[in-house]
């Protein structure tokens, strides 16, 4: 099936500290960039933390994430269907780098979010918004089966769309602790769908995706740094 290649802004950016005046930010690209607001950040966090009790609700949450992150409901929704979504899942490749928030230098400002997951979604147009939604939902699905009082919650996030996907950071509260250490053990054992970046845990989608070299993950961290540090310095 053929899909239009450029039908919404793919250079949407949301900074971690979204309250900084947009005029004080430097664009990461010479091309047009739309900066999302703190209102979008709050709505994305709230939507991502919703619990789906059936497949229809799960897809509705994904649809909402797509719309919020692109601001283009009339364009995104017609393509957010079963055939489109299945094709996206067959094309997308996701890396999650598991860290503690102090490692990205913002724990003093986010003390209620001790864990950070840096994500990198590789997919071509027009699959970026759906890939972004799937990356968040795929991660949050690890809550399935956990008692309500043990489920972790997203606290904040930042992201940047680009030609070949989207990358960013997800900040979580202390309830991620158990899964965080469980994942570290899986990565140390070399379980399917895991990798290591130096001593940091990495999980991958699909689980049969091959392992990557050190420079691959180092490049991801370098490219999301401005979403976190540039604004932290400017806001101070």
Confidence tier at 34 by pLDDT (50, 70, 90): confident
Instruction: Tell me the whole-structure pTM to 2 decimals.
Output: 0.89
What 3-state class would DSSP assign to 165? strand
CA distances from 131 to 96, 127, 178 (A): 13, 6, 26
Condensed to tens digits (0 to 9), the pLDDT of residues 47-76 reads: 999 999 898 899 899 989 988 998 776 666
Of the candidate ranges 24-33, 72-81, 169-178, the one whose mean pLDDT is the lowest: 24-33
Mean pLDDT over residues 77-84, rounded?
A: 72
- More confident: 170 or 108: 170
Confidence tier at 232 by pLDDT (50, 70, 90): very low
- More confident: 85 or 213: 213
DSSP 8-state secondary structure symbol assigned to residue 52: P
Confidence tier at 3 by pLDDT (50, 70, 90): low
CB proximity list for 205: less than 8 A, separation 6 or greater: 92, 93, 94, 96, 135, 138, 193
CB 15 within 8 A of CB 158: yes
Mean pLDDT over residues 196-222, rounded?
A: 93
**H-run or E-run covering 91:** helix 82-91
Q: Distance between CA 110 and CA 226 in Å, rounded?
A: 17
CB 131 within 8 A of CB 165: yes
């Amino acid at each position: 099936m053929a899909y239009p290649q450029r039908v919404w802004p793919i250079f949407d950016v949301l900074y971690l500290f979204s309250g900084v005046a947009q005029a004080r930010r430097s664009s990461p690209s010479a091309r047009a960039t739309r900066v999302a607001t703190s209102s979008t950040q709050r709505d994305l966090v709230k939507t991502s933390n919703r619990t789906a009790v059936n497949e229809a609700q799960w897809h509705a949450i994904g649809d909402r994430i797509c719309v919020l992150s692109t601001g283009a409901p009339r364009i995104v929704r017609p393509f957010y269907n079963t055939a489109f979504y299945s094709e996206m899942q067959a094309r997308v490749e996701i890396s999650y780098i598991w860290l503690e928030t102090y490692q990205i230098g913002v724990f003093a400002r986010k003390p209620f979010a001790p864990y950070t997951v840096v994500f990198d979604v590789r997919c071509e147009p027009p699959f970026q918004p759906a890939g972004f939604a799937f990356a968040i939902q795929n991660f949050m699905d690890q809550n399935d089966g956990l008692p309500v009082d043990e489920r972790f919650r997203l606290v904040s996030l930042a992201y940047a769309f680009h030609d070949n996907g989207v990358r960013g950071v997800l900040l979580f509260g202390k309830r991620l602790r158990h899964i965080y250490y469980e994942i570290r053990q899986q990565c140390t054992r070399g379980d399917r769908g895991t990798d290591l970046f130096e001593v940091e845990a990495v999980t991958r989608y699909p689980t049969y995706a091959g392992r990557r070299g050190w420079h691959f993950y180092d490049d991801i961290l370098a490219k999301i740094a401005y979403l976190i540090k540039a604004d932290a310095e400017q806001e101070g």
